[in-house]
Chains A and B, each alone.
Chain A
Amino acid sequence: MNNIAKIIAQLRETVGNPSQVISDYSKKTGKGVVGCFPYYTPEEIVHAAGMLPIGLWGGETQVAEVHSILPAFTCPIMQSNMEFALRGAYNKLKAVIIPAPCDTLKSIGQDWLYAIPQIKAILLVYPQMRKIEGGVQYLKTEFSRVQKEIEAIIGEPISDQALTRSIEIYNAHRAVMRAFAELAPSYPVTITPSIRHLVIKSSFFMEKSQHTEVVLTLMKELRKLSAEKSSAKKVILTGITAEPDGLLDLFQENGLTVVGDDLAQESRLFRTDVPVGSDPLTRLARQWSLIEGCSLAYDPEKKRGAMIVDLAKKTHADAIILCMMKFCDPEEFDYPILATEFAQAKLPLLYLEVDQQIQSLEQLRTRIQGFAEMINASEK
């Protein structure tokens, strides 16, 4: 096994065994693990406490118990998360942080308090008027409350110095992830769509400076290879997530390679650095005011479409694939606007409805196959 394969295997092992990650971290550090719900959870505060923030982005499972809490038309990520919680899969967590940038997450935070009382929930609400100073100041007070609740768990204060250090670790991680996303398209054979996703997703289950090191090593190994030739068509992914993995394999199977993304679970996480400043909580709050092109962050100008078109130009993408998370209002509202803008930019668009509880990939396979044939034919 070469070095690249070894790294990939290690990351796969980590992502496949979150329970092990929690036990190992708790044993090694004596500190606990905090589950971080999507989206934009201030992991830096958890990190500064010496705890491990792990991302809770659902997963493939057969939901059953969750139907006593939520209707069937609930976001699949939240159905999975609540199902796992009801089954006790999260019981080793010291707490979960549930932000509320959409109506679904407002409700999930409240449901958690009643349905999962054994695990502490730290709730926070992001401001939508995030660009006015009042919005930044309000968010700072929310983060300050999160900090106090984390401090209560560890029984000691988190210093500004520790928080600043964590912010720098996270910013360094963001920079490395951006560099990886730029480098990956040069190696479409080695970095397949599902491996690209694995490299990014594994950061949810590792301490960030360690993940940075692993990704840096991977990039170093990749650079030793000459750029790989491929006849695959280049696509940009947009949406919340491009899961399950089977979906990404279908892209590969049909000669599609991912050259960039605008996924909430991927690039949106590392596109925007925490800005410089003297007060760490204000810096964290200000980051939210700088985020652009996300369906969950208020933007009457709706810059997202133009940003994706720019990314497509920059990466010479042939097409866009919109992975529509089932029952996701913010994304569903963006779609008609995006579709118009992509059509104006003459970018072919494939709309795929994605669901973590999907029973069969066959329908997706047919649609992806048809789309791949279409973009190949249009070139001839």
Chain B
Amino acid sequence: MGEVLILSEEKLTSKQYLAELSAKHYQDAIDGKKRGELVAWSSSIAPQELCETMGIHVIYPENHAAAIGAKGGALPLINFAEGRGYSVDLCSYARISLAYKDMQECCFENVPLPDLLIICNNICNTLVKWYENLSKELHIPLICIDVPFNTEYEVTQERIDYIKAQFVEAIRQLEEITGKKFDYDRFHEVMKISSRAARSWNKAMKFTQIVPSPLNGFNIFNYMAMMVTNRGRESSVKLFDMIADELGELSQSGQTQFPVEEKYRIMWEGIACWPYLSHNFKTFKQYGINMVGSTYPEAWTLVYDAGDLDGMARAYASVMNNCNLARGIDLRVRILEECKCDGAVYHLNRSCKLMDFMQYQLAKEVFKKTGIPYVVFDGDQTDPRNFAKAQFETRIQALVETMENNKTQRKQN
């Protein structure tokens, strides 16, 4: 589980480093499992600090499912899950993961089965049900950090106290599972690194605020994988600092990663449509649309002081999916303004009820506050059957027409 920090070549690019770290992430888990080391499966914004401290290899099924979807390999797993009785209405990440548990075969990396599970339901309650089933059928322990949805704007102290009590319980469970004492000094160190990685990530992602953006917004979908899988490590700090440096250089020389002239800047709401990533990007590129606004940069900006458990609890409880609608609206308004967006694209993601069932209100209220036009399209994060290219293209075309009209009017005024 050693770090890949020393650059093997003089001018290693962030792209190469990212590929190296990604491959190492999976290989480490595979090798570790062979050596009899523990492997956990974890949800994407769970307190990785705990497993990192304990030296447990962690695989992130959401990430794994997204990669399978992006490589066009979701259907065999989805069909298998449905054959087992999982409804087509359920989250497609969950269906892929529950099928993978039995099939252990996919078009992407074949990850080892877990010895334990850890979740934090700050992104949805679906995780609770999905991992209950993994725990039951694999006969392995499940560590659950339950983060109650914030019905109020801020995270209440009562919620923080409850989450902290669960950190204590999770540590107790981990000590029992591993037979090792929890190393609080190491924990302190991991907390420090994790916050630094979050700051570096945020700094790099902020380059989308520059006009034109030196960052091609769709690259965020690649970069975020490391925030999921590698957040507690120095190598992430290094990667995101490297990305920020590259973006800074590009910006200074008036260059950009975006392959065509940036005519329109939009915010993308929701998870990517992984099976159609390339199609979505090509559609945007055709019109010169750069996705500069996204909720992803905020999602992994989990910043707190090392040793501050209240702060860590608050950070995990403040992720956007866990915030009330008022705060969700303010967040999107801020993104649209900071990233100087001309429009917004809302992904009505068939897999994510929590996002979908507030989305109509969210879009309406954000529009009321900003006047920035938006379109909604039907899709799914990994089930390719729930997306229609023609609908997406027509909606984007309509958005472009509105954005163009707005630009013309602004010029006239």
A298 at the interface (CB under 8 A from B): yes
* A103 and B124 contact, Cβ closer than 8 Å, known pairs A111-B357, A115-B361, A138-B158: yes
Report yes or no: A103 in contact with B357, Cβ–Cβ below 8 A: yes
Give the complex CA separation of A337 and B135 in angstroms.
12
Cross-chain pairs A/B with CB under 8 angstroms, 15 sampled: A71-B360, A101-B125, A113-B326, A128-B146, A129-B144, A132-B169, A134-B164, A299-B132, A300-B132, A300-B141, A300-B142, A335-B86, A336-B85, A336-B86, A337-B137
A108-125 interface bits toward B, Cβ cutoff 8 Å, 1 = contact, 0 = none: 111101110000000111
Given the complex, which residues of B lie within 8 Å of A113, measured CB to CB?
325-326
Given the complex, which residues of A lie within 8 Å of B210, measured CB to CB?
none
Report yes or no: A104 in contact with B165, Cβ–Cβ below 8 A: no
Closest to B350 in A: A73
Give the complex CA separation of A69 and B151 in angstroms.
19
Name A326-365 residues within 8 Å CB distance of B: 326-327, 329-330, 332-337, 339
Interface residues of chain B, those whose CB is within 8 Å of chain A, are 84-87, 89-91, 94, 121, 124-126, 128-133, 135-137, 141-142, 144-146, 148-149, 151, 156, 158-159, 161-162, 164-166, 169, 324-326, 348, 350, 353-354, 356-358, 360-361, 365
Total CB contacts across the A-B interface at under 8 A: 152
A170-190 interface bits toward B, Cβ cutoff 8 Å, 1 = contact, 0 = none: 000000000000000000000
Total count of chain A residues near the partner, CB < 8 A: 53
Give the complex CA separation of A114 and B85 in angstroms.
37
Other-chain contact of A114, B125, B126, B325 (Cβ < 8 Å): B325
Report yes or no: A298 in contact with B144, Cβ–Cβ below 8 A: yes
Name A104-162 residues within 8 Å CB distance of B: 104, 106-111, 113-115, 123-129, 132-135, 137-138, 141-142
Other-chain contact of B357, A70, A114, A133 (Cβ < 8 Å): A70
* A129 and B357 contact, Cβ closer than 8 Å, known pairs A138-B148, A138-B162: no
Closest to A332 in B: B87
Report yes or no: B148 in contact with A329, Cβ–Cβ below 8 A: no
Closest to A126 in B: B148
Q: Besides A104-B353, A335-B87, 16 other CB < 8 A contacts? A: A111-B360, A113-B325, A114-B325, A125-B149, A128-B128, A128-B146, A132-B166, A135-B165, A137-B162, A141-B156, A141-B158, A298-B144, A300-B135, A300-B144, A302-B133, A326-B89
Give the complex CA separation of A278 and B32 in angstroms.
52
Closest to A339 in B: B85
Closest Cβ of chain A to B92, distance in Å, is 13
Give the complex CA separation of A339 and B87 in angstroms.
13
Report yes or no: B87 in contact with A133, Cβ–Cβ below 8 A: no
Interface residues of chain A, those whose CB is within 8 Å of chain B, are 68-71, 73-74, 100-104, 106-111, 113-115, 123-129, 132-135, 137-138, 141-142, 295, 298-302, 324, 326-327, 329-330, 332-337, 339
* A111 and B358 contact, Cβ closer than 8 Å, known pairs A327-B89, A332-B89, A337-B133: yes
Given the complex, which residues of B lie within 8 Å of A141, measured CB to CB?
156, 158
Report yes or no: B161 in contact with A134, Cβ–Cβ below 8 A: yes
Give the complex CA separation of A333 and B165 in angstroms.
28
Give the complex CA separation of A114 and B364 in angstroms.
10
Other-chain contact of B358, A110, A135, A301, A327 (Cβ < 8 Å): A110
Report yes or no: B361 in contact with A125, Cβ–Cβ below 8 A: no
Report yes or no: A107 in contact with B137, Cβ–Cβ below 8 A: no
Closest to A301 in B: B136
Report yes or no: A103 in contact with B353, Cβ–Cβ below 8 A: yes
Closest Cβ of chain A to B46, distance in Å, is 14
Give the complex CA separation of A135 and B91 in angstroms.
27
Give the complex CA separation of A331 and B354 in angstroms.
16
Report yes or no: A100 in contact with B151, Cβ–Cβ below 8 A: yes
Most buried by B among A71, A115, A126: A71
Most buried by A among B151, B325, B348: B151
Give the complex CA separation of A365 and B57 in angstroms.
52
Most buried by A among B86, B161, B326, B358: B358
Closest Cβ of chain B to A86, distance in Å, is 13
Give the complex CA separation of A104 and B165 in angstroms.
26
Given the complex, which residues of A lie within 8 Å of B91, measured CB to CB?
329
Give the complex CA separation of A374 and B117 in angstroms.
41
Given the complex, which residues of B lie within 8 Å of A123, measured CB to CB?
151
Other-chain contact of B126, A74, A129, A134, A329 (Cβ < 8 Å): A329
Given the complex, which residues of A lie within 8 Å of B136, measured CB to CB?
300-302, 337
Closest to A338 in B: B85
Given the complex, which residues of B lie within 8 Å of A69, measured CB to CB?
360-361
Closest to B141 in A: A300
Give the complex CA separation of A326 and B353 in angstroms.
13
Given the complex, which residues of A lie within 8 Å of B354, measured CB to CB?
103, 106-107
* A103 and B126 contact, Cβ closer than 8 Å, known pairs A110-B361, A302-B136, A327-B89: yes
